[in-house]
Structure 1
Amino acid sequence: MTSFELSREHEEFRRSVRDFAEAQIAPYAAQWDREHHFPVDVVRAMGKLGLFGLTAPEEFGGAGGDFTSLCLAIEELGRVDQSMGITLQAGVGLGINPLIEYGTRAQQEAWLPALVAGEALAGFGLTEPGAGSDAGATRTRAELQGEEWVVNGAKQFITNSGSEITSLVTVTARTGVREDGRPEISAIMIPAGTPGFVAEPAYDKLGWHASDTHPLSFTDVRVPADHLLGERGRGYAQFLATLDDGRIAISALSVGCLQACLDMAVAYAGERQTFGGPIGRKQGVAFQIADLEVMLQASRMLTYRAAALKDAGAPAGVVKQAASVAKVYSTESAVTATRIATQVFGGYGFMEEYPVARFYRDAKVLEVGEGTSEVQRMLIARGLGLPVE
């Protein structure tokens, strides 16, 4: 059985990221949220700390580390600001890792050094206006004309896709028809600034105000034929495998949210005085906070177990099941935790001057991104052998 106890090195690394997050992110997170500001300087500082290169090979400037370390970093960033947590999660899991897994040597040498250093970001274009959970319904098309791909279509809800340091976006596109009549879907890398590629104005989101998220459009976008990522016709399968890892990372982000809710609720319940004593003395409050601790511990263990299975090279089906279990439980727990924490704060929890309000807004999307809760339950059921559609 795979062990998922953290090593001394993991705990030391966690402390270093926590120190960075508390010093460089926590004091400014509320202002970034209010201003919908994407702090490029902090992203670069995260790069200098080595966070974007945690799982990347040393030859490209990375640490060659394990996936568990990445999850710890995402958790600690997410504990103070979910926006910076998702920036790292998407930057590594959706931007860098596909290049490591499927890129040619030339592609890796061209793009990875800047991405690993945190000097550039890459996006992952899967979702479309009519293709979300049903990603196989992709309508974006790429036609090979001579030595160039010509791409037309649109993507939506794409993280790290329109910032001043975004260097490329990898998108899924129909590149033909398979023998069985189903669409052939491939992955194409499109550099920022390519004529016809437009990152539309950023979304006005409910939460994650300090993360970079845009709809994208492609009008006769031409890129060299060698910008195909991985095998032609394998783009959809590659992206699904990428999402398996991403679900573990989103679970880690949810654990950070849960930890923040517990910390804030415990502190407030010990300070807020009513009827001659702290509200934490009341069972109605104390029991709700106890539930936060239960959800946190369970979510953390499920997340660490899934990460440990990936690090141990467990079979893909085992990792997929563990990832879905971790994601559906931890994300739904995080949403519940923000509701509980806001209730503990009472009227103050409804005020934007308190961080609990920001976490309340940020949490909901955790149940949606990287595969909705409904999709996770479908995958879990299939893993149990049920013929669910």
Structure 2
Amino acid sequence: MRRTVFTEDHEAFRSTLRAFIEAEVVPHYQEWFEAGLVPRDLYRKLGELGVFGIEVPEEHGGAGIDSFKYSAIQYEETARAGIGFGGAGTHVALCLPYLLSLGTPEQLERWMPGFVAGEEMWAIAMTEPGAGSDLAGMRTTARKDGDEYVLNGAKTFITGGVQADRVIVCARTSPPREDDRRFGISLLAVDTSLPGYEVGRKLDKIGLRTSDTAELSFTDVRVPAHDLLGEEDRGFSYLGHNLAKERLGIAYGAYAQAAAAVRFTQAYVTDRTVFGTSVASFQNTKFELAACQAEVDAAQAVADRALEALDAGHLTPADAASAKLFCTEVASRVIDRCLQLHGGYGYMNEYPIARLYADNRVNRIYGGTSEVMKVIIAKSMGL
């Protein structure tokens, strides 16, 4: 079926990005994989390519394109090549929406040049060791002291946290109300070079190896009050505004991983010979790949429909939850079946299917677990 979600401009961007990946990323990716993070120079190159400024208004050095479709193409192309851009996804998909919706003109003037150029990388710190999905239970505090906030606490599972130059930290600035546990949380754009700010362990994950994930701690970090994002004590309400977009991004990434898995596997079974004949010639192989392709086609349709709804401003939380649930479950099944067709080689990290298998698993956890997605969908059904 003809795909209509992308225009000629999108496809021109795809060609540019694909050439960049082949020239600047693929030759070095094994080294980055073993190191557990990408070099800072990659972010500057992505900035030069214009990747970080697509959705940034022109007055702040960006292209001013209010569309998620260019990000969708990045999901497809990185999955197609079996690589990742480290913390770049968090920088744009998670942090930028908060900056554009909450940042003052003065803040954007200070932050956007470095953001767009990849010179100042951003991350966001919500999760704490004792507060995962229950963000209202966070214990990190930011006490107002004159024209500063004194930040104390700890965060964990912070994507891009090792290399981040500035982190949007969620902290409690006031006690919760009896009738509203969510009241009293604020967002602070914290400069990571401030005294008392420390990066703890770089966490050892089973997947997403080049996307550094860190533990952070704050000991009397004095954050200038002019780095408060939005209004004080209203931070929790802001956190929900970007969830639909975040979940669509995960859904799109999962679909792209599944599509890449089929592509890698078809190439492998065509070249692999067993008992004097190619693995691709066996009926089981044909049937398995055909079934996987059918699932990928369905996931692509769901992801594309949700993408169009997001750009049109119609993507509801339930729509995003449904897309995330479906696409991540499809990817899980497809990648598992594709790894099986690789046999023992599928378990080796030198093969992209093995990395996809490990990378894919977190899709059903972060951005809201599959169980949370089911709750959201059920509520939308009146259940």
Name the TM-score, length of structure 2 as normaliser: 0.93
How far off its partner does 1:95 sit?
2.0
Tell me, in whole angstroms, the C-alpha distance in 1 between the residues paired with 2:294 and 2:269: 17
Residues 256 and 31 of structure 1: is their aligned pair in 2 closer, same or farther, counting only changes over 3 Å? farther
Residue 20 of structure 2 corresponds to which residue in structure 1? 20
For 1:383, the equivalent position in structure 2 comes to 380
Displacement, 1:322? 2.1
Letter in 1 for 2:162: G
Match of 2:153 in 1: 153
Change (3 A) 1:19 1:256: farther
Q: Which residue in the other structure is 1:214 paired with?
A: 214
Matching residue's letter, 2:177: R
1:177-256 to 2 correspondence within 5 Å? 177-178=176-177, 180=179, 182=181, 183-256=183-256
Structure 2 match to 1:273: 273
CA contact (8 A) 2:169 2:188 kept: yes
Q: Is the 8 A contact 1:261 1:338 kept in 2?
A: yes
Cα distance, 1:4 vs structure 2? 6.2
Question: Among residues 327, 330, 334, which one is paired with 2:331 in the alignment?
Answer: 334
Q: Which amino acid counterpart does residue 287 of structure 1 have in structure 2?
A: F
Residue 165 of structure 2 aligns to a residue whose secondary structure is: strand
Match of 1:348 among 345, 349, 358: 345
Distance in 1 (CA, whole Å) between partners of 2:39 and 2:298 is: 32
Q: 1:1-389 counterparts in 2 under 5 A?
A: 5-65=5-65, 66-84=67-85, 87-163=87-163, 166-176=164-174, 177-178=176-177, 180=179, 182=181, 183-314=183-314, 318-386=315-383
Higher mean alpha-carbon deviation, 17-26 vs 43-52, is at 17-26
Q: Distance in 2 between matches of 1:260 and 1:178?
A: 48
Q: CA deviation at 1:127?
A: 0.9
Any idea what SS the aligned residue of 1:201 has? strand
- Separation in structure 2 between the aligned mates of residue 234 and residue 287 of structure 1, nearest angstrom: 53
Deviation digits for residues 131-158 of structure 1 (CA, Å, limit 9, x no counterpart):
1122222111111122211111111111
Shift of 1:319: 2.9
- Match of 1:215, SS? strand
Distance 1:224 1:151 in 2: 11
Q: Matched residue of 1:25: which SS?
A: helix
Distance 1:8 1:342 in 2: 34
Q: Offset at 1:44?
A: 1.6
The structure showing larger relative contact order (alpha-carbon pairs under 8 Å, at least 6 residues apart) is 1
Mean Cα deviation higher: 30-39 or 345-354? 30-39
Unaligned 5+ segments in structure 2 are none
> SS state of the match for residue 5, structure 1?
coil
- CA drift of 1:264 comes to 0.8
- Is the Cα–Cα contact under 8 Å of residues 261 and 338 in structure 2 kept in the other structure? yes
Say if 1:15 and 1:249 are closer, same or farther in 2 by CA, change over 3 A.
same
Distance 2:295 2:217 in 1: 40
Percentage identity across paired residues of the two chains? 38
CA contact (8 A) 1:258 1:334 kept: yes
User: Which secondary structure does the structure 2 equivalent of 1:208 belong to?
Assistant: coil
- 1:203 Cα deviation (Å)? 0.9
What is the CA RMSD across the aligned residues, in angstroms?
Answer: 1.8
CA contact (8 A) 2:36 2:212 kept: no
Which residue identity does 1:311 align to in structure 2?
Answer: D
**How far is the alpha carbon of 1:12 from its aligned partner?**
2.2
In structure 1, what is the Cα distance between the partners aligned to 2:57 and 2:151? 31
6-15 or 199-208, larger mean C-alpha shift = 6-15
Task: Give every structure 1 segment of 4 or more consecutive aligned residues whose post-TM-superposition deviation is greater than 6 Å.
Answer: none
Greater CA deviation, 86-95 or 151-160?
Answer: 86-95
Q: 1:61 to 1:312 in 2, by over 3 A?
A: same
Instruction: Provide the rounded CA distance (Å) in 2 between the counterparts of 1:224 and 1:37.
Output: 30
Compared CA separation, residues 364 and 14, structure 1 to 2 (3 A) = same
1:178 counterpart letter in structure 2: R
1:262–1:289 CA contact under 8 A, matched in 2: yes
Query: What amino acid is aligned across from residue 84 of structure 2 in structure 1?
Result: S
Whether the 8 Å CA contact 2:190–2:223 is kept in 1: the answer is yes
